[in-house]
Amino acid sequence: MTAPVQSHPPLRHAALAAAGIARRNLRTALTTPSLLLPPLIAPLVFFAAFCGGLSVLADAPGFQFTPGYVAFEFVFVVVQGAVFTGIFSGLTLARDFESGMARRALVAVADRRAIVGGYVLTALGRAPVTAAALYLAGLAAGMPAGGVIDMLVLFAVTELLAAIGALWASGIALRIRSVQGAPMMQMPAFLGLYLAPAFVPLGLLTGWLHGAAAVNPFSLYLESGRGLVAGHPVRTAETLAVSAVLIALLTLWALRGLRRATAQAS
């Protein structure tokens, strides 16, 4: 009797392949300044600019955030940094298509889902570096240290955001297979972040901007993150639930892109 044929290789093989891709990408990123520095320097520049140029907003009537404006903006730039760390991972995938590396992986890797997993793991490996750099910059600027547990939860949320950014950008990279897809990866993230309560609390926004921010998922991440920094967690469970839904949907988005890239490579 013929043994049944497995539809997919063992999960362990896929995990090893994903880890190998992530290890290669992280090693390349850590030894290539042009890949290492932009995702790290950009949020630090934004942090310095926002805290210096917009700190007067803390004196606006109704602005109430006990840890101060530096801590208020820290949460925004750490969320932004995590999302764009993930997007840079998707850009790496697009660059690998241009160099031929990703096309070779489509042929060599038995379970091609490991390719998506590898670039997500790359983002997860880089996100803590960005978050730690921003945290140290915040402390240097006078931000309260915050509770250990609260900061660990915030860092865990940045990992989720990095995965969300990587899955979104990887889906585009797999469809376009060129760094020319970079604007499509970045523009929706920019719009989402800056249509959230980035510089003042939601209650101080008015008109259509308030309406847009009220339904913007990034507003949830900012509100829960600022609660963690202030030592009064709010909407943490809701944030984790929304993250789970987004990751599930964007995983399907990335895997559909993977099927299209596989068909093109055949």
Task: Kindly report, residue by residue over 171-186, the tens digit of the pLDDT.
Answer: 999 999 999 999 999 9
Within a domain: 61 = yes
Within a domain: 7 = no
Within a domain: 4 = no
- For residue 260, the enclosing domain spans 14-265
Within a domain: 5 = no
List, in sequence order, the alpha helices (H) in 100-214: 101-108, 113-140, 148-176, 182-194, 207-214
Mean pLDDT of the chain: 91
Within a domain: 58 = yes
Within a domain: 244 = yes
pLDDT at 84 over 90: yes
- Structural domains of the chain, count: 1
> What angle, rounded to 10 degrees, do the helices at 101-108 and 236-265 form?
90
Task: Kindly report, residue by residue over 90-120, the tens digit of the pLDDT.
Answer: 999 999 999 998 888 888 888 899 999 999 9
Q: Give residue 209's identity as a one-letter amino acid code.
A: L
Within a domain: 176 = yes
CA of 230: how far to CAs of 71, 127, 143, in Å? 8, 22, 10
Within a domain: 140 = yes
Q: Quote the percentage of the chain above a pLDDT of 70.
A: 95
Burial of 103 (0-12, 13-18, 19+ CB in 10 A): middle
Question: What's the confidence (pLDDT) of residue 166?
Answer: 97
Cβ atoms of 239 and 224 within 8 Å: the answer is yes
CA–CA dist 248, 215 (Å, integer): 20
